[in-house]
């Protein structure tokens, strides 16, 4: 059971609500601001505070925690129409903000569980079985011994944070802190405060000095995930920190020397972002002192079944082991995993629920709706494209990729549509995925999906892997 101190000055939970929370594994202890005492905080693993119009109660809770020498994470409950209050709570030390209207015990269980430090396990945390993965691991361990900035690249869900932790654990800084931060998860002004910290009185509500994440990572590693989503304004400040190896808190003047390693990660092509002037070129070269690229899961197939075994061990219920049939194993290895390791974990969790503690078979494997077309499907799409254009008169002087083209007597809008359709089908034929085809065409994947759907409505065959 997770011990939760629930502080709400205006409303108490009913007995039925407390019982639902207990069934989810949360022992609720209720208090209000008037009767709050130091004893309430003893043994609490998570503290939930309801805020209304100001963060005074949050400051009181933090003061009580300091007096009791406890450091349980604080979750702020804020009404969804008080967005600024939520930002203030986060900037003043709340670990996360949850809408005050949220009363679902299952949702709260997920929120509180993510804040608790997991118990150590004897099971291995990482899987490197495939030769491609082994080579990557060996290179990562060599890089970890040298105190350089590391840039991790690879598609979403491939395990970039796992590799960042290995860089930290294999380095001389392994006894120091590992601080992870997602640059795309919060508004810009809040990111700046969390990374750099602030001095007391630097803005309204800054009632105490708050060290930023860079300071909290002293002697260790800070991991900046989704670095490609950082605003141009913050990129300039980050560049200065990397150059000077010091940080100045918001509202402060004195630089604070830093002894940290910076590991950044992105699933974007930063060179394209530089060309589009969305990312600073000088920052890119600062971050990529050593660049490690993690290949997608389908390029290291020998990792798939060991990862499946690990996920099944993590999801064992009531001590009953779950097995995997040979057919299911073959199906898992043959799948292309566009969502990579994260998608694999989701598939295994769903399968364990459906198999009801029995053997996982093919019927229990429900893949995410992200199919990738193979060569046969692409050729089939091209054949239908040829058939589609065969009824359109072509011009001998201007050949087209599929043998058709707009005739002189066609209306201009119809000629434009035909030319656009030919360009789309040519890009699909030359690409491995719809996203790559969209990049070739210079449009977004969403726009391409919309255009393909229009083609289907007009009777044009488009393989469903591309029409999704």
Q: Report domain extents, the chain.
A: 2-106, 131-293, 298-364, 375-467
Task: Tell whether the torsion through CA atoms of 226, 228, 229 and 230 is positive or negative.
Answer: positive
Q: What is the CA radius of gyration of the chain?
A: 27
The answer to whether the CB of 329 falls within 8 A of the CB of 189 is no
Unique residue bearing structure tokens 């909290």: 216
Report domain 131-293's class: alpha beta
Architecture of domain 2-106: 3-Layer(aba) Sandwich (3.40)
Compute the distance between CA of residue 207 and CA of residue 251 in angstroms, rounded to an integer: 13
Residues constituting the chain: 468
The answer to whether the CB of 96 falls within 8 A of the CB of 115 is yes
Compute the distance between CA of residue 215 and CA of residue 194 in angstroms, rounded to an integer: 10
Residue whose C-alpha is closest to residue 293's, from 320, 326, 271: 271
Report domain 298-364's class: mainly alpha
261 forms bridges with which residues in the sheet?
221
pLDDT tens per residue across all 468 residues of the chain: 788 888 888 888 888 888 888 888 888 888 887 677 777 787 788 888 888 878 788 888 888 777 776 778 888 888 877 767 877 777 677 777 788 888 888 878 777 766 664 444 444 457 888 888 889 988 999 999 999 999 999 998 898 999 999 999 999 998 999 999 988 877 777 888 888 888 887 777 777 888 889 999 999 999 999 999 998 889 999 999 999 999 988 888 889 999 999 999 999 999 999 999 999 999 999 999 999 999 999 999 999 988 998 888 777 654 556 788 888 898 999 888 988 998 999 999 888 888 876 788 888 898 875 444 444 444 444 444 444 334 433 333 333 333 333 344 445 555 556 667 777 777 776 676 777 778 777 787 777 877 777 776 665 555 444 444
The answer to whether the CB of 327 falls within 8 A of the CB of 365 is no
Helix H or strand E segment including 216: helix 213-216
3-state secondary structure of 49: strand
3-state secondary structure of 11: coil
Q: Do domains 2-106 and 131-293 have the same CATH topology?
A: yes
> How far is residue 263 CA from its own chain's centroid?
16
């Amino acid at each position: 059971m997770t011990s939760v101190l629930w502080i709400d000055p205006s409303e108490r939970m009913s007995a039925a609500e407390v019982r639902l929370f207990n069934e989810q594994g949360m022992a609720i202890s209720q208090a209000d601001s008037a009767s709050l005492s130091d004893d309430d905080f003893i043994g609490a693993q998570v503290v939930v505070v309801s805020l209304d119009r100001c963060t005074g109660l949050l400051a009181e809770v933090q003061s009580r925690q300091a007096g009791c020498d406890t450091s349980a994470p604080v979750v702020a409950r804020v009404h969804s129409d008080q967005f600024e209050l939520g930002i203030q709570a986060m900037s003043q030390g709340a670990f996360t903000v949850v809408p005050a209207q949220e009363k679902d015990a299952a949702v709260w269980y997920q929120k509180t569980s993510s804040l608790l430090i997991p118990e150590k396990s004897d099971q291995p945390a990482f899987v490197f079985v495939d030769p491609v993965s082994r080579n990557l691991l060996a290179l990562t361990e060599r890089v970890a011994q040298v105190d350089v900035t590391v840039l991790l690249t690879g598609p979403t869900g491939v395990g970039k944070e796992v590799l960042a932790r290995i860089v930290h654990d294999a380095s001389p800084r392994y006894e120091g802190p590992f601080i992870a931060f997602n640059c795309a998860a919060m508004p810009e002004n809040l990111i700046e405060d969390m990374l750099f910290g602030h001095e007391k009185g630097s803005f309204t509500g800054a009632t105490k000095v708050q060290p930023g994440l860079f300071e909290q990572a002293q002697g260790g590693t800070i991991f900046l995930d989704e670095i490609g989503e950082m605003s141009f304004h913050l990129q300039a400040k980050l560049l200065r920190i990397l150059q000077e190896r010091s940080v100045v808190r918001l509202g402060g003047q004195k630089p604070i020397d830093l002894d940290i390693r910076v590991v950044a990660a992105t699933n974007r092509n930063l060179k394209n972002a530089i060309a589009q002037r969305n990312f600073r070129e000088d920052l890119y070269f600062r971050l990529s002192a050593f660049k490690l690229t993690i290949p997608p899961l389908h390029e290291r197939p020998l990792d798939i079944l060991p990862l499946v075994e690990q996920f099944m061990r993590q999801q064992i219920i009531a001590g009953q082991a779950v097995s995997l049939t040979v057919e299911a194993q073959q199906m898992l290895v043959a799948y292309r995993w566009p969502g990579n390791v994260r998608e694999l974990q989701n598939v295994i969790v769903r399968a364990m629920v459906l198999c009801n503690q029995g053997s996982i078979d093919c019927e229990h494997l429900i893949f995410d709706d992200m199919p990738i077309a193979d060569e046969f499907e692409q050729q089939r799409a091209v054949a239908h494209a040829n058939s589609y254009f065969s009824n359109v008169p072509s011009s001998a002087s201007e050949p087209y990729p599929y043998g058709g083209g707009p005739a002189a007597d066609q209306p201009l809008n119809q000629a434009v549509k035909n030319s656009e359709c030919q360009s789309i089908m040519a890009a699909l034929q030359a690409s491995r995925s719809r996203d790559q085809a969209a990049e070739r065409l210079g449009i977004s994947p969403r726009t391409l999906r919309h255009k393909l759907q229009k083609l289907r409505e007009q009777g044009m065959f488009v393989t469903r892997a591309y029409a999704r």
